[in-house]
Amino acid sequence: MSARRRLTGRLRVALPPEEAFGLFTPRGEERWVPGWRPRFPAGDDGGPGTVFETVHDGETTTWVVLVHEPGRRLSYARVTPGHRAGTVTVVLTGDGDGGSDVEVSYDLTALTADAERALDGFAAGYPAFLRSWEGAIQSTRSTSSPPSA
């Protein structure tokens, strides 16, 4: 059994890539990820090298922006000490209907045996995890849209 998992999946967002891109930035995820509150110890310019932290289920994760190509691609390094480390990459392409196809890739390495079991669970649920992203984004967009006349 390997402690490394490379996972790739896709979701659809009903916005063109230039608009959908913002949903996958640290600040943009606040709009649709419950409890997502990034903290920027040295400010947030969003560009490569930007560092931020998040806390989820009592674990603090440190993130570093590696790639920031507006409308196209984002990549992050992430480390949760004593648990896992790796990268997350989001690539957006137009779907031909005014929306975006979004490819999300996680490349994670477990740092302990317990973390390896947790990572196996994450890998097993990855397709459902991305469906939950799609649903959360769609739900947030529909509740923030103005009512029709």
The domains located in the chain, with CATH, are: 4-138 (3.30.530.20)
Structure tokens, 71: 């409308």
Distance CA 95, CA 88 (A): 22
* Residues paired with 76 in a beta bridge: 65, 88
Q: Where does the pLDDT of residue 135 fall: very low under 50, low under 70, confident under 90, or very high at 90 and above?
A: very high
Instruction: Report the pLDDT value the prediction gives residue 45, as an integer from 0 to 100.
Output: 79
Determine contact, residues 102/20, Cβ cutoff 8 Å.
Answer: yes
Whole-prediction pTM value?
A: 0.91
Q: Is the pLDDT of residue 43 over 80?
A: yes
Quick one: average pLDDT of 20-39?
A: 95
Q: What is the dihedral of CA 125, 131, 133, 139, to 10 degrees?
A: -140
Tens-place pLDDT, residues 89-132: 999 999 999 999 999 999 999 999 999 999 999 999 999 999 99
Q: Where does the pLDDT of residue 149 fall: very low under 50, low under 70, confident under 90, or very high at 90 and above?
A: very low
End-to-end Cα, the chain, rounded Å: 57
Q: Where does the pLDDT of residue 148 fall: very low under 50, low under 70, confident under 90, or very high at 90 and above?
A: very low
Residue the block writes with tokens 């991305």 = 130
